[in-house]
Amino acid sequence: MNPDRPSLTSADLPDGIGRVLVEPADTAGFLTDWRRRWTGRALAVVQPGSTDEVATLVRWCAAHGVPIVPQGGNTGLTGGSVPDTSGRAVVLSLARMNRVRAIDPVNDTITVEAGAVLASVQAAAREAGRLFPLSLAAEGSCTIGGNLATNAGGTGVLRYGNARELCLGLEVVTAAGEVWNGLRGLRKDNTGYDLRDLFIGAEGTLGVITAATMKLYPQPAAQVTAIAAVASPHAALALLQLARGLLGPSLTAFEMMSDLCLSLVARHFPDCPKPFADAPPYCVLLETSDPESEAHAAERFDALMARAIEDGIVSDAVVAQSIAQSRRFWALRENISEAQAAEGKNVKHDISVPISAIGDFVERTDALLARHFPGIRMVVFGHLGDGNLHYNVSPPLGADGDSLLAQQDAINALVHDAVAAADGSISAEHGIGVLRRDELPRYKSPVELALMRSLKQALDPKGLMNPGKMLA
Ligand code: FAD
Ligand code: ZN
């Protein structure tokens, strides 16, 4: 350390930046990630109440060479939202910036501050008679800023797209502490480089998102939720094709789960429904949203199922008879991660391949893993309609989770090489953070990495925005 320049403390922070937290009891929750895999230290956790306060803080950090870690709900799964262990960084929590600034039901847009919790944005849209379709299991805690910074997906991507596709405009505090107001509610705007798209999915490495204008949709008149039994991912794909053909844009969710997923949920969440007496190898949770009526929705759905059974694609199906039952079906899907965690340590992969390649990918990778790691158990589930699977693995029955973790790098390489061979992505919705940072160079071309570094250098020349995340 330079003795002429004593290190900064929280007492050096300027006025006009909002609430400053420094006591360990107050800051602890901001320094460890959701899965408790990474714990860092910070100069302070700062919670600005306005865009101006964010800008004041960022300008001070730029002047003093202090790294900034933006944080929303801290539900990210790749370690991007917590600082390193140096204690030099400021955690910039957007939690207090949670207001709805405007709803325009005619333009079908909502403008919210970045710290607004996703579920509260859904509720604000609902109160205005509209639908905000982004939906994921962390929606009670994650924020719009975090959703955009990770380009979150979730269960409605098939019909409505991911966070990027739902966003029309952003307000951003740049790494220099300037405010860019790009809160345009325009569906067409070809006036140069799309700056908005740069900040979406950037995981806080280019600037701080302080507000966003998001798209709204009509609320459906009726929804049907069902679980269908299929023999394989190939059969699930055949059902997807049939459902898209017969239902078109009414098909709003298409989630696949392997039999092991259902048995883990049954063991750890005994209150969850058991849709089939004999668990099929795979099943699909489908949801349709109908613009007309319940009768119309049921009629179209019954036609789909009749055809799928006649064609031998589906062996059995259970349709939810009430909203409560539909929620219970969704709980089955949403409890898989927790059930796997309750079972012990595991290794997760959040991969995507072209939808057409998913059947072969699962078959081939299952076989490879079984050959190289005898007894290993694949817990495969996810957003089949988006080509995105959570291809997780648990240790052999009775084996210790630590021995699985000791083989983690070899397992990751096997799965991710298979993904690359299928022209897929090693992170479909959770981002890179620190979890996948060192794997990225193996799967991105030197040209692509160099372009990413040029952008980082141009927008954050001092390297203070979430350093060490995404790019080493
Ligand atoms: P944080 O965790 O706080 O931050 C995530 C990243 O974004 C960090 O790099 C952070 O620095 C950056 N960041 C946060 N806010 C800002 C901002 N305002 N400006 C700039 N950068 C910012 N993801 C999916 O895509 N689909 C799912 O289905 C899904 N399900 C999940 C289920 C559970 C139970 C959990 C715990 C997570 C799930 N996730 C899922 C992970 C997902 O990334 C997050 O839930 C969510 O998008 C992150 O929002 P957050 O506000 O918690 O962000
Ligand atoms: Zn997911």
- 104 with 165, same domain? yes
Residue 457 lies in a domain: no
* CATH assignment at residue 363: 3.30.70.2740
Lowest mean pLDDT across 4-13, 372-381, 406-415: 4-13
Mean pLDDT value across the chain = 95
Sequence-ordered strand ranges (E) for 86-216 = 90-93, 100-104, 109-113, 130-131, 167-174, 179-182, 207-215
Q: 36, 53, 81, 158: which to mutate for ligand 1, most atoms within 8 A of CB?
A: 81
Q: What is the pLDDT of residues 438-457, one digit of tens each?
A: 999 999 999 999 999 999 99
The rounded Å distance from CA 376 to ligand 1 centre is 29
* CATH assignment at residue 76: 3.30.43.10
- 257 with 350, same domain? no
Closest ligand to C-alpha of residue 392 is 2
Question: How far, in whole angstroms, is CA 296 from its chain's centroid?
Answer: 33
Residue 305 lies in a domain: yes
217 in Cβ contact with 131 (< 8 Å): yes
> What stretch of H or E contains 377?
strand 377-383
pLDDT over 90, % of the chain: 93
**Which residue has the least CA distance to atom 25 on ligand 1?**
152
The rounded Å distance from CA 151 to ligand 1 centre is 8
**Which residue has the least CA distance to atom 13 on ligand 1?**
146
Q: Is 182 exposed, middle or buried (0-12, 13-18, 19+ CB in 10 A)?
A: middle
Q: Is the pLDDT of residue 458 over 80?
A: yes
Last residue of a domain, one of 93, 128, 155: 93
Closest ligand to C-alpha of residue 118 is 1
- Domain boundaries, position 249: 222-337
The rounded Å distance from CA 141 to ligand 1 centre is 9
Lowest mean pLDDT across 1-15, 314-328, 350-364: 1-15
**Which residue has the least CA distance to atom 44 on ligand 1?**
76
**Which residue has the least CA distance to atom 27 on ligand 1?**
154
Phi then psi for residue 283, to 5 deg, are -140, 165
Q: What is the pLDDT of residues 377-434, one digit of tens each?
A: 999 999 999 999 999 999 998 888 899 999 999 999 999 999 999 999 999 999 999 9
Atom of ligand 1 nearest to the CA of 69: 11
Q: 75, 147, 179, 432: which to mutate for ligand 1, most atoms within 8 A of CB?
A: 75
Q: 34, 74, 142: which to mutate for ligand 1, most atoms within 8 A of CB?
A: 142
Q: What is the pLDDT of residues 22-42, one digit of tens each?
A: 999 999 999 999 989 999 999
- 208 with 232, same domain? no
Protein residues with CB under 6 Å of any ligand 1 atom: 34, 69-77, 80-81, 94, 114, 136-138, 142-143, 145-147, 149-150, 152-154, 203-204, 208-209, 429-430, 433, 466, 469
Residue carrying structure tokens 């990495």: 449
- pLDDT band of residue 312 (cuts 50, 70, 90) is very high
Q: What is the pLDDT of residues 324-338, one digit of tens each?
A: 899 999 999 999 999
Atom of ligand 1 nearest to the CA of 429: 25
Sequence-ordered strand ranges (E) for 183-326 = 207-215, 217-218, 222-230, 251-258, 282-290, 316-319
229 in Cβ contact with 280 (< 8 Å): yes
Q: What is the pLDDT of residues 123-135, one digit of tens each?
A: 999 999 999 999 9
Q: Is the pLDDT of residue 3 over 60?
A: no
pLDDT over 70, % of the chain: 99
- 134 with 187, same domain? yes
**pLDDT at position 6:** 58
Last residue of a domain, one of 218, 233, 250: 218
- 333 with 374, same domain? no
Residue 274 lies in a domain: yes
- 131 with 75, same domain? no
Residue 460 lies in a domain: no
Q: What is the pLDDT of residues 55-68, one digit of tens each?
A: 999 999 999 999 99
Residue 5 lies in a domain: no
- 109 with 210, same domain? yes
* CATH assignment at residue 199: 3.30.465.10
Residue 279 lies in a domain: yes
In sequence order, the β-bridge partners of residue 254 are 286
Which whole number is the average pLDDT over 215-229? 95
Give the separation between CA 441 and CA 81, rounded to whole angstroms: 21
Residue 464 lies in a domain: no
Q: Is the pLDDT of residue 5 over 80?
A: no
Atom of ligand 1 nearest to the CA of 203: 9
6 or 410, higher pLDDT: 410
**pLDDT at position 273:** 86
- 229 with 290, same domain? yes
Which whole number is the average pLDDT over 151-165? 96
Residue 123 lies in a domain: yes
- 351 with 327, same domain? no
- 257 with 322, same domain? yes
321 in Cβ contact with 294 (< 8 Å): no
The CA-based angle 314-332-131, given to 5 degrees, is: 90
* CATH assignment at residue 307: 3.30.70.2190
Q: What is the pLDDT of residues 91-109, one digit of tens each?
A: 999 999 999 999 999 999 9
The rounded Å distance from CA 77 to ligand 2 centre is 11
The rounded Å distance from CA 466 to ligand 1 centre is 14
Residue carrying structure tokens 């307000």: 171
Which whole number is the average pLDDT over 51-56? 98
Which whole number is the average pLDDT over 208-214? 98
Which whole number is the average pLDDT over 203-232? 97
The rounded Å distance from CA 371 to ligand 1 centre is 35
The rounded Å distance from CA 429 to ligand 2 centre is 7
Residues 6+ apart with CB under 8 A from 272: 265, 266, 328, 331, 332, 335
Q: Give the DSSP letter of residue 44.
A: E
Last residue of a domain, one of 337, 357, 379: 337
- 111 with 213, same domain? yes
Question: How far, in whole angstroms, is CA 244 from its chain's centroid?
Answer: 24
- 196 with 233, same domain? no
Query: How many folded domains does the chain comprise?
Result: 4
The rounded Å distance from CA 228 to ligand 1 centre is 30
Q: Is the pLDDT of residue 196 over 80?
A: yes
Q: Is the pLDDT of residue 111 over 70?
A: yes
